[in-house]
Amino acid sequence: MRSAILFAVPLALFCVSTAGAQRSDDTTVQSPAVQSSTPASSPAADSPMTPRQAAEMRADVFMARKEYAEAADAYIQILSGEPKNAQLANKVGIAYQQLGELNKSERFYKRSIKADKNFASPLNNLGTVEYEKKHFGKAIGLYNKAVLLRTDMATIYSNLGYAYFANKEFPEAMGAFGKALAIDPGIFDRKGSGGTIVQQRTTTDPGLFYFFVAKSFALAGDIEHAAHYLKLARDDGYKDFLSADKDPAFAKIVKDPRIREVLQTPPSYSDEAKKTNPN
């Protein structure tokens, strides 16, 4: 069954790959929650588009319209003439992942990795496939390889945190989330954009997960986000959310009115709330 990847790509044209263009894989596609960054520059505004550029532009438009099967076919047609193009192989992998065809997606990510061992995106993206298959240890290994290539990418650290969390390696998850937030404080708020790197956005235990994210924001001194995610943890059924009162991670912000409000408001499923609102 296809997992719940959110792929939010705006109906705008992707950048087109050009020969010798510098790759940029620093934007994101949300995995079931996937996002993607296009690794190439667009042609100059006054330059005519080549047939090759037009073909990839057409495939990118299919992706933007969520016509993933058509996009995969269009990318593969170009790839047949450029069999070692790592960027195209990675795009095919994303298209198949959106279709829920994980085996095909995996094959093209591996092809991309073989073509360019220094391209972090397919390593990360293959990690999201392993995560979807609940192979959390394999996902962790792939994310760690990707992060060695791109230590500046919040998405990879975020994905690594999700995988550690799913594998119940909680201190490691906190460390990865902390690094992600240090690079991009809005990493957990991102709704989606065009790109070539997949961002994992599903978790095995939402309530506990939100509590850990709240702790990460608390340690970063971001009270607003810490209160927001603590509230999500409470409302999503994490019954131990009151432990924030004594958790060292919240020590510096626990007296803030926004945190106190969350802690002092009983969740809707509690006996106390049911007595107050019996209907």
Q: In this predicted structure, what is the pLDDT of residue 173?
A: 96
* In the predicted structure, residue 196 carries a pLDDT above the cut 90: no
Which pLDDT value is given to residue 272?
56
Tokens representing 143?
């994310």
Residue 262 CA to residue 242 CA, distance in Å, equals 9
Domain closes at, from 172, 203, 234: 203
**Nearest alpha-carbon partner for 254 in 226, 233, 225, 235:** 226
Look-up of token digits 């994490």? 238
Domain count, the chain: 2
For residue 129, give Cα distances in angstroms to 98, 162, 198, 224, 241.
11, 13, 10, 33, 31
Please tell me the pTM assigned to this model: 0.80
Full residue range of the structural domain in which residue 66 is found: 1-203
**What percent of the chain clears pLDDT 90, i.e. is strictly above it?**
71
Considering 156, 188, 203, which residue would you say is the last residue of a domain? 203
Residues 110 and 230 placed together within one structural domain of the fold: no
- Does residue 8 sit in the same domain as residue 145? yes
Q: Please check whether residues 54 and 190 belong to one and the same domain.
A: yes
Same domain, 177 and 217: no
Token code pair at residue 197:
């790197």
pLDDT average, residue stretch 262-266 = 92
Provide the pLDDT confidence category of residue 92 given band limits of 50, 70 and 90.
very high
pLDDT single digits (tens) 1-10: 333 333 333 2
Do 142 and 255 fall within a single domain?
no
134 and 240 part of one domain? no
- Residues 1 and 18 occupy one common structural domain: yes
Residues 175 and 231 in one domain: no
- CATH number for the domain harbouring residue 4: 1.25.40.10
The average confidence (pLDDT) of the chain is 84
pLDDT digits (tens, 9 = 90+) for 211-243: 999 999 999 999 999 999 999 999 999 989 999
**63 and 172, same domain (yes or no):** yes
